[in-house]
Structure 1
Amino acid sequence: MAAGIGDAAAGRLIGLGMGPGDPELITLKAARLLASLPVIAHIHAETPEAGAAGPASGGEAGLARGIAGDLIRADATLIAIAMPMREDRAAGAAAYDAGAARIAGHLAEGHDVGVLCEGDPLTFGSFMYLAARLSGRFRIEVVPGITSMTAAAARLVLPLAARTDSLAIIPATLPEAELARRLDAADGAAFLKIGRHLAKLRRVLTAAGLADHAWYVEHATRPEERILKLSMLADDTAPYFSLILVHRRGEATR
């Protein structure tokens, strides 16, 4: 994907999908670019406030930096963008503004800049907020990545959709009634950003008669990965980077 014509002499802003955690799931194209890009940007999450919706540590692109590891060009300039994990959206917007300004300086000098993004850059990815601020001024490209949702399905060998099925990607941060409404409209669903919303999701899935069909996955493909039926999960809360997969028939191919 490319967007924003921009100055032909300026550098390109490139969103790099790093996949869900296993470095072997980085695409060949992303690995090639990591070895050649002169500037790499990534997000470093600040300690969140109590009850914040975001991850407890690491941050999306902070984790992506760990996935990229030593694939990054040895002499690359690294831009760490501090991201406050708070309910206050103004603080996050200010961080994106500051990060975009720093990136713009390198782009204006003709340097390509890669932005690391866990999973896929355009699926709940921080990259899209930086791209929105720089679009029109600079050329933008995206290297897609494997999402945690598809990685979790692969680990379970669980089909997500078949034939005429509809599949909903639903953030667990939504109000309970809205979660139920969106679930009701779909054959299969992937609930993301579980965190402190686990109890709410249990209620929604139980009310829909789907609790026994639901699978819980945290940190998909990483060493600390955990997979089990939701009905077997005793925890009251979950990591931010966890998800639940469910299908009305138990699996899409039945």
Structure 2
Amino acid sequence: MSAGTVWGVGLGPGDPDLMSLRAARLLQEARHVAFFRKPGRMGHARKIADGLLTGAAVEFAMEYPVTTEIPVTDPAYNRVLSDFYAHCADHLATLALAGEDVVVLCEGDPFFYGSFMHLHNRLKTRVPVQVVPAITGMSAAWTATDMPITWGDDVLTVLPATLPEDELVARITDADAVVVMKIGTNMPKLRRALARTGRGPEAWLVRYASMAQQQATPFATAGDGPVPYFTIALIHGQGRRP
């Protein structure tokens, strides 16, 4: 029996209309579907796919054992997540080795800060794995500001807000255009870093890019409290143009 394929399918930033034709086709044909979620939640990727999956699809919800409950610097964090990804990969490999194709639903693009990367790393030497790329959340975010993120020879720098403040300052200072992700509770640190660089007035904050509740506002108008998971900060490049 030929092994099936595990598909990491990027669904885009949130609006189902921004999904690729290939992604939509795979969802409509899927017999087995897997997706990540927090316990007790439907899961954002599953919400995006709602309406495209057939009622016959067998669903496998992969529930994170931890998200923010343990600091990422705690050795237990990596240990718990490693065991979790290994268990999920084993389940998907078993299905593929039995000849079944499996569609793994992925928010944004599977290879850009996505959980699927950890499954891909564990599965690629065991069963066939293919990835369907997608529009990223940051692309939807700068589109929401109605301004290009880069001009001419601008260099785009993508930063996680989890970096130490001094490193954020150094990288923002040296950058032309900037995207900051993984903000969450790091909002006060990011505000301080932007103030230290003098680039705070240039920055924008976009919540829920491409979704019904989308908000794009100058960073200066945002408070210091935690922001939703789907929040991205931007500084637009001002490079060469005709």
Q: By the TM > 0.5 criterion, same fold?
A: yes
* Residues 253/19 of structure 1: CA separation in 2 closer, same or farther (3 Å cut): farther
1: CA distance, partners of 2:106 / 2:18: 13
1: CA distance, partners of 2:95 / 2:140: 34
Unpaired stretches in structure 2, ≥5 consecutive residues: 72-76
- Matched position secondary structure for 1:35: helix
2:234 aligns with one of 231, 234, 245: 245
Match of 1:97 in 2: 86
Q: C-alpha offsets along residues 112-150 of structure 1, whole Å, 9 cap, x if unaligned?
A: 111111110000011110010001111111111111100
Match of 2:125 in 1: 136
2:53 aligns with one of 65, 72, 80: 72
Which stretches of structure 1, 4 residues or more, deviate above 4 A after TM superposition?
251-254
Q: Is 1:39 aligned to residue 20 of structure 2?
A: no
1: CA distance, partners of 2:209 / 2:216: 8
Q: C-alpha offsets along residues 70-97 of structure 1, whole Å, 9 cap, x if unaligned?
A: 2013211111111121431221111111
1:16 aligns with one of 9, 25, 30: 9
2: CA distance, partners of 1:252 / 1:206: 25
Q: CA RMSD in A?
A: 1.8
Match of 2:159 in 1: 170
Q: Is 1:225 aligned to residue 205 of structure 2?
A: no
* Residues 246/148 of structure 1: CA separation in 2 closer, same or farther (3 Å cut): same
Q: C-alpha offsets along residues 18-37 of structure 1, whole Å, 9 cap, x if unaligned?
A: 11111111111100000112
Q: Is 1:108 aligned to residue 97 of structure 2?
A: yes
2: CA distance, partners of 1:222 / 1:169: 22
Contact 1:160 1:252 in 2 (8 A): no
- Matched position secondary structure for 1:121: coil
* Residues 253/204 of structure 1: CA separation in 2 closer, same or farther (3 Å cut): farther
Give the number of equivalent residue pairs: 234
* Residues 143/180 of structure 1: CA separation in 2 closer, same or farther (3 Å cut): same
